[in-house]
Amino acid sequence: MEGTFFMVLAACALVPAWLAVRGANLIHAALWLGASLLATAAVYAMLGASFLAGVQVLVYVGGVITLMIFGVMMTRRHEGLVALAESRHQGRAAAIAVTLFAVIAQAINATDGLDAPLSAPVSANGSALGRALVVDHVLAFEALSLLLLAAIVGAVVIARRRDPPDAREAEVPS
């Protein structure tokens, strides 16, 4: 029963993921990615990590996908419906993906006790989660925050208007 459920969910995560990567239509790709992330949240819920599942929907499907869509709408000239995805970095992206897969697979392989049945559901208890985040793993947590901050600053720098200030004034009809 559980195995069947898992297989169905895994298919629901993998097929949209493939469509997101291979599709030419950028908007469709973003929405397929959302579908894939939603199925991943369902897998989390199945494993008893209901809090993680909820946050996955809230942050990734609700937040990140919205940001992506907003990015496409703001940066592309939309002549008609199709915003085409084009990339000159497909080879490099594939190499990174394969490496990442190998690392994660290795990490999972190296973990003990995977054969043991899931005894108790992973706690959705707020205080335990909070303690784990800001006491036990505080270094990783802060490192992540710093990384995100750097990413935001980087995004602002990349997106900043490059033309000189008088060019902006020239746009206003006198």
Partner 1 sequence: MNALAHGASYGALIILTLLTTVAMGVWFERKFAGRMQSRLGPTMVGPVGLLQSVADVVKLLNKEDIIPRDADRGLFTLAPVLAALLSLGAAAVVPFSSTVVAADLDIGVIWVVALGGLTVIATFAAGWSSNNKFALLGAMRGIAQSVSYGVPLVLSVLVPVILAGTMSLSGIVAWQTRHHWFALWPVIPGLPALGLFFLAMLAESNRIPFDIPEAESELVAGVTTEYTGAKFVLFYMAEYVHTLVGSAVASVLFLGGWDGPIAPGLHWMVAKTLALFVAVYWVRWSLLRYRSDQLMALCWRRLTPLGVGLVLLASAWALFAPGGPA
> Which residues contribute to the site for partner 1 (CB under 8 A)?
27-28, 31, 34, 50-51, 53-55, 57-58, 61-63, 65-66, 69-70, 73, 78, 80-81, 124, 126
In this complex, which beta carbon is closest to partner 1, that of residue 20 or of residue 57?
57
SS3 126: helix
Please, what is the minimum distance in Å from the beta carbon of residue 70 to partner 1? 6
In this complex, which beta carbon is closest to partner 1, that of residue 63 or of residue 101?
63
Please, what is the minimum distance in Å from the beta carbon of residue 92 to partner 1? 30
In this complex, which beta carbon is closest to partner 1, that of residue 78 or of residue 168?
78
Catalogue the long-range contacts made by 19-26 (C-beta closer than 8 Å, 24 or more residues apart). 23/85, 24/82, 24/84, 24/85, 25/82, 25/83, 25/84, 25/85, 26/72, 26/76, 26/83, 26/84, 26/85
Please, what is the minimum distance in Å from the beta carbon of residue 39 to partner 1? 14
**Helix 2-22 and helix 26-46: axis angle, to 10°?**
160
Question: Are 6 and 19 spatial neighbours (Cβ–Cβ below 8 Å)?
Answer: no
Question: Are 11 and 40 spatial neighbours (Cβ–Cβ below 8 Å)?
Answer: no
Please, what is the minimum distance in Å from the beta carbon of residue 52 to partner 1? 9
In this complex, which beta carbon is closest to partner 1, that of residue 63 or of residue 143?
63
How far apart CA 27 and CA 49 sit, in angstroms, is 30
Please, what is the minimum distance in Å from the beta carbon of residue 51 to partner 1? 6
Question: Are 85 and 23 spatial neighbours (Cβ–Cβ below 8 Å)?
Answer: yes
In this complex, which beta carbon is closest to partner 1, that of residue 59 or of residue 138?
59
